[in-house]
Amino acid sequence: MLMQQRALGRAPVFRHGPAKVALRTSVRSKALLMDAECFTIPAAPDLIPEGPWKKVAGGVCAAQGFKATGAHAGLRASGKKADLALVVADAPATAAGTFTQNVMCAAPVLYCKDVLKRNQKIKAVLTNAGQANAATGTLGYEDAVATAKALAAALGCSTDEIMLQSTGVIGRRMKMENFIPAIPEIAKTLGASTEDAHRAAVAITTTDLVSKEAALQVQIGGKTVHVGGMCKGSGMIHPNMATMLGVVTCDAAVAPELWTQMVKRASVASFNSITVDGDTSTNDCVIGLASGAAGNALVTDPNSADAKLLDSAVTALMQGLAKSIAWDGEGATCLLEIEVKGARSDDDARIIARSVAGSSLAKSAFFGHDPNWGRIAAAAGYSGIIFDQEDLGVQLGSMKLMEAGQPLAFDKATANKYLKDTCAKHGTVQVLVTVGKGPGKGMAWGCDLSYDYVKINAEYTT
């Protein structure tokens, strides 16, 4: 019913068709289902920025040393869509994580944070869709521990090598009667193909209309290094990690402390720079795993050329994934890309950009194809960052609407057509805001606010 609600009044334009998934018809048990109908969802468009890397297929399996899978285990309220995903490293991988700062953080978030305090080598990430296992008290945490124990037994590893992610309805415990029996069965279906990665990417989605995965390769120390990832998210998107989930895999050999820094920096410039509705989830979590299987010399110096290139590649991959979440915002007809220049610092610029991207009034105007630039100016002004209003400039696409604090004459019909044509193809509306002559620059991404967003969320649990 929920997916049908998302479809009401919206005819999204997908740039990529459904991925062709080879069936594993031999995998049939009471615990799992892996028929084609479990994975019938289109793929998100390619939104990775250009750079000194090559975009490749493979998602989380693009990097050497990782396998993945996804299946239907009966965890959702209804339907046969896959709802359980597993990513496993051949050998324990260097791990880093960023998590929600919502005080009501979910049981799997608490579990992962506890594990990373004790161990930086992780074997597997298990993700379920259907129940968020948030606001479930002590019993919810015990459920999380029980799933970790079941997976550790299936993989022959320690529970301190297991990470957990959950997404779905807050306040409901997981369907343990279906979950626990499915764990040893799903471990038997792991594979390293593009299709295996796609199964996992589909299984973690909820109200998403598209699956979200990407990968790229780059030369590090004379070796070909791959960075791949998958994520989910469409509503309740306003991450503050210092219901959005992500897993990033990399086969570079990189020092643990440096990998942690890279994942955290990339999160700030990607997942922490998107917003759909201003609601910070209880379950926000991004886990990065580095296997070292590429065979490059260990990257230890953060100022080295190799470290800087790997850092930029990880950031680009995560930005592409994050933008796909905003593009697929519930009820959205366009992706908003807000760029801010001239701030005192990059952090200031990102805060202003995110304020504009999150303005309900500005988002509504974009949906109505109304070039109401005053709402953009207002959102920049209440961001909390101080700037001289006489330095403010606003540009929509190639059209300057305001410069040096002064409104400019512009062709409203042309601006309206730009918005209408962009939204008709579910494209990217570009907004440039200048706030001075400082060195700070930053970007944020969001989406327009349509009638369908309310339709989707008004009856989420009914």
- Domain 335-459 sits in CATH 3.10.20.340: yes
E-assigned strands of 171-324? 212-220, 223-232, 245-250, 285-290
Q: What is the pLDDT of residues 104-131, one digit of tens each?
A: 899 999 999 999 999 999 999 999 999 9
The answer to whether 212 is a known ligand-binding residue is: no
In the prediction, which pLDDT does 462 show? 65
In the prediction, which pLDDT does 280 show? 59
The answer to whether 50 is a known ligand-binding residue is: no
For the entire predicted model, the pTM comes to: 0.89
In the prediction, which pLDDT does 6 show? 38
Specify whether the CB–CB gap between 12 and 425 falls below 8 A.
no
Specify whether the CB–CB gap between 362 and 278 falls below 8 A.
no
In the prediction, which pLDDT does 277 show? 58
Sheet bearing 393-396, strands edge to edge: 406-407, 399-403, 393-396, 428-434, 335-343, 440-447
The answer to whether 462 is a known ligand-binding residue is: yes
Q: Which fold has domain 39-328?
A: L-amino peptidase D-ALA esterase/amidase (3.60.70)
Residue ranges of the chain that CATH labels 3.60.70.12: 39-328
Q: What is the pLDDT of residues 189-236, one digit of tens each?
A: 999 999 999 999 999 998 899 999 999 999 999 999 999 999 998 765
Tell me the mean pLDDT in the region 66-88.
97
Q: Which of 9-23, 148-162, 401-415, 420-434 has the lowest mean pLDDT?
A: 9-23
DSSP states of 47-90 as a string? Answer: -PPPSSSEE-S-GGGSSTTEEEEEEB-S-SSSS----EEEEEEE
Based on C-alpha coordinates, what's the Rg of the chain?
22
Residue ranges of the chain that CATH labels 3.10.20.340: 335-459
Query: One-letter amino acid identity for 385?
Result: I
Residue 213 CB partners (closer than 8 Å, separation 6+): 43, 44, 59, 60, 197, 198, 201, 228, 229, 230, 231, 321
> Could you give the percent of the chain with pLDDT greater than 70?
89
The answer to whether 457 is a known ligand-binding residue is: yes
Q: Which residues are catalytic?
A: 243
